[in-house]
Structure 1
Amino acid sequence: MNFEIRNAKIVTARGNEAVNDYVLETFTANIHISNGCIVAIDEQIRGVDFFDASGLIALPGFVDPHTHIPFVGERSKEFIMRSKGIKYADILKAGGGIHSTVDDVRRASVDDLVNAGLKYLGWMLKNGVTSAECKSGYGLDFENEIKQLEAIKIISTLTSQNIVSTFLGAHAIPPKGEKAFFEDLKAMMKEIKEKNLAEFVDVFCDEGAFSVDFSREYLNFAKSLGFKLKAHADELTNNGFAKIASMLGATSVDHLAMCDESEINEMSKNKTIAVLLPLTSFYLKNKFAPAAKIINSGVPVALGSDFNPGSNTFYSPFLTIHLAVNYMGMTTAQAIVAHTLNAACAIGLGERVGSIEPGKRADILLLDVPSIDYIPYMPTNEIIRAIFLNGEFFENRNSLSGKNKK
């Protein structure tokens, strides 16, 4: 199929690698699409079906590099308990917390997980998220971790969104303890590699989660099997693991609310991407990551949601950008690059998505806004006038604007 988006005010970063200059080029042109890909951007009119984007800003589709999809069940009672000041440790003792979701996932079928995952990804797509990472981590045993990853693989065939799979078996320590659990995790990783069920391996290294020594050995084993590496680090406390993960070659280290200067410097040296998750800080009323300090040190920053049933049920990139600008000191341009090109690179998709350029997928948002600064100012998906996913209309809201577009 050949298609054109005409007269679009294009706002995009460029390239296939994560950047720390956060430059957004802005220009008006026609975007020529063939078979789902951008083939040219120029002023020519080729006489094919078209969408008139006059007066609209074209952004690359948002990329969410950190979600905990798929999961089932809900923890609204826990949310209310937290809102009243009840500590998470007490919630765990009462049968809530992550182990509640683990119980739900263990009872669920693959179809249950697929249906729930597609529902949540559909919600995200209506907010302009055209690519996303999905994690396991709510099984915590061989059968159920594999089940989650198999569900992700099926989901990737049922949606046109780009889906990247991550194994997070080391998400919470089961009763047998981390040392005994390591043997189980090794067996899982071998099976996952054999069945090609995940591209990345992740670990949660923090207070109440896995230790630094365990996490180092765990990522080293994953690396020996050929997995790309990620890490949850410095969300609740600082233990220095962000530095270690960076030295091990992790593609990204995520959270980083409590990171220190030595970790930031190591990440800068290794070009490790910092995936910052302000929605979680907001949801939990915790400290925000020092985004400006990280950026000024030359670390490429990406933004994600951390959408999950326990510590953050927000998923809007518009709200993420608002928080990044209003609470973390980022500029609008930095936040947009962080949620598009840098986020794509954080999950290995930089060559395919994240910018509006020839050769990349035609994942494009058309926004009815006077400037990009309106995005954090008015953080709602109602500013979207059209979503193109792999060159096809996902949603066309042009009747709302009173403009004849096609």
Structure 2
Amino acid sequence: MTNSANLEIRNVKIVTATGISPVTDCVLKYVTGNIKILDGKIISISNEPSESENVFEGDGMLAIPGFVDPHTHIPFVGDRTKEFLMRAKGAKYSEILKDGGGIHSTVDSVRKASLDDLVVHGLKYARWFLKSGVTAIECKSGYGLDFENEIKQLEAIRRISENTPQKVVSTFLGAHAVPSMGEKAYIDELKYMLDFVKEKDLAKFVDIFCDEGAFSVEGSVKYIKYAKSKGFKVRVHADELSSNGFAGIASDLGAASVDHLAMCSKAEIKKMAQNKTMAVLLPLTSFYLKNAFAPARAMIDEGVPVALGSDFNPGSNTFYSPFLNIHLAVNYLGMTPEEAFVAHTLNAASVLGLEKECGTIEVGKRADIVIIDAPDIDYIPYMPSGELLKAVFVNGVEFFENRDNFSRKD
């Protein structure tokens, strides 16, 4: 007996990418054996038994890295069920806005909500993700659109992070929509917010939505440059509704990622490849809205590293399952199962700057591990059901969905 551990996951088929760099070739490592965990970290992967306080018997099932979701809009309150039904009957977004729906409906709800309300709802949604095998998650502001309520959302994210075992990365998306004061005046206000966010260390990333009906290219460029001058890493929403060239511009400006990209042009793809800019694709939203899917195959073939996220939000996508997301990536985006798998693990972790901590099953990394009852990775897009999932370990602790706490198996 060697390598004393306080948890051992035995007899599993491990499937994982390796390393700490986002990849496009997606070569996976396959190992059959035992995973030994000490104080939340993987200390060895081998066939040798160990003295472990706790043992999880894998019975030959697959062990994969915990999924990472690099794009959600948690926290929010309220729902937009009426808007969904209007859209299902063919209503256009302009009609929905006139009827009181759209993003400003959620803004109204968030402004009326207390900080505690946002935390309670945010933790509920984070738990939904965890039950689906998502062990690291990004959360955004963007439903406040003024100083008080944007900061309230960021404070809620901090408290969510303190009360869930998942890794949580915070993004300031104050530039989500243009309020009634107009773009120029609001960007001036956003700069003041950025100074406060930096001072209080409330967000790792700054994001902006540059598209039809949102922020202009000119205003977005000025805002990005200011955010970078303050030391923020920048991410952007681009090419979701139209192609205005901003994905390529943001890539040249050093954006950590460009997200959505359903309408991305070939020229922008080439720029992103040259700059090694991460593309975060959101097929669940395209599916939900019955819109175009991002050209993932063209991106990967050009050398753009691709990640997958859910874009979970109350208006344009209420799906969050990584299993369904991988299915759509394979079935509609032209990705291979291996590419989609890596896009939701290592590459997604790389977007959030978590690649040294999670995204793969390797010695030294967090023991964020999902056990699924599937013969191989190809089975995930073929049978995209949460029923495949048999266990979730977060930082070396097994999650029990019927309990309020996180504890080790007795």
Partner of 1:46: 50
- Residues 387 and 394, structure 1, Cα contact 8 Å, conserved in 2: yes
TM-score, with normalisation over the residues of structure 1?
A: 0.97
Partner of 1:98: 103
* 1:238 aligned onto 2:243: yes
State how far apart, in whole Å, the 1-side matches of 2:401 and 2:195 are: 44
Partner of 2:74: 69
* 1:14 aligned onto 2:21: no
* 1:315 aligned onto 2:320: yes
State how far apart, in whole Å, the 2-side matches of 1:396 and 1:312 are: 24
Q: 1:166-210, CA deviations, whole angstroms, 9 ceiling, x for partnerless residues? A: 000000000111000011100100000000000000000000000
Q: Give 1:396 shift.
A: 8.1
Partner of 2:157: 152
TM-score, with normalisation over the residues of structure 2?
A: 0.96
- Residues 306 and 343, structure 2, Cα contact 8 Å, conserved in 1: yes
Q: Give 1:17 shift.
A: 1.6
Partner of 2:217: 212
State how far apart, in whole Å, the 2-side matches of 1:196 and 1:97 are: 30
The alignment yields a C-alpha RMSD, in angstroms, of 1.2
Q: Give 1:51 shift.
A: 1.3
Q: 1:112-165, CA deviations, whole angstroms, 9 ceiling, x for partnerless residues? A: 000000000101111000000000000000000000000000100000000000
Partner of 2:123: 118
Q: Give 1:372 shift.
A: 1.3
State how far apart, in whole Å, the 2-side matches of 1:132 and 1:326 are: 24
* 1:174 aligned onto 2:190: no
Q: 1:288-340, CA deviations, whole angstroms, 9 ceiling, x for partnerless residues? A: 00110000000000000000000000000000000001111111100000000
State how far apart, in whole Å, the 2-side matches of 1:13 and 1:37 are: 17
Tell me the amino acid that sits aligned with residue 341 of structure 2: I
State how far apart, in whole Å, the 1-side matches of 2:169 and 2:358 are: 12
State how far apart, in whole Å, the 1-side matches of 2:25 and 2:64 are: 18
- Residues 307 and 314, structure 1, Cα contact 8 Å, conserved in 2: yes
Q: Say which of 351, 357, 361 aligns to 1:352.
A: 357
Unpaired runs of 5+ residues, structure 1, are 398-404
SS in 2 for 1:395: coil
**Alignment: residue pair count:** 399
Q: Say which of 273, 279, 293 aligns to 1:268.
A: 273
Tell me the amino acid that sits aligned with residue 369 of structure 2: I
State how far apart, in whole Å, the 1-side matches of 2:43 and 2:189 are: 47
State how far apart, in whole Å, the 2-side matches of 1:300 and 1:167 are: 23
State how far apart, in whole Å, the 2-side matches of 1:67 and 1:385 are: 24
Partner of 2:405: none
* 1:288 aligned onto 2:299: no
- Residues 385 and 396, structure 1, Cα contact 8 Å, conserved in 2: no
- Residues 273 and 346, structure 1, Cα contact 8 Å, conserved in 2: yes
Q: Give 1:54 shift.
A: 2.5
Q: Give 1:6 shift.
A: 1.2
Q: Say which of 69, 78, 87 aligns to 1:82.
A: 87
Partner of 1:143: 148
Q: Percent identity?
A: 65
Q: How does 1:185-200 map to 2 (within 5 A)?
A: 185-200=190-205
- Residues 353 and 360, structure 1, Cα contact 8 Å, conserved in 2: yes
State how far apart, in whole Å, the 1-side matches of 2:390 and 2:160 are: 26
State how far apart, in whole Å, the 1-side matches of 2:13 and 2:252 are: 41
Partner of 1:4: 8
- Residues 131 and 401, structure 2, Cα contact 8 Å, conserved in 1: no
- Residues 243 and 265, structure 2, Cα contact 8 Å, conserved in 1: yes
* 1:36 aligned onto 2:69: no
Q: Give 1:251 shift.
A: 0.8
Q: Give 1:349 shift.
A: 0.7
State how far apart, in whole Å, the 1-side matches of 2:242 and 2:27 are: 33
Structure 1 residues 139-148 or 46-55, which shifts more? Answer: 46-55
Q: Give 1:371 shift.
A: 1.6
Q: Give 1:101 shift.
A: 0.1
- Residues 310 and 322, structure 2, Cα contact 8 Å, conserved in 1: yes
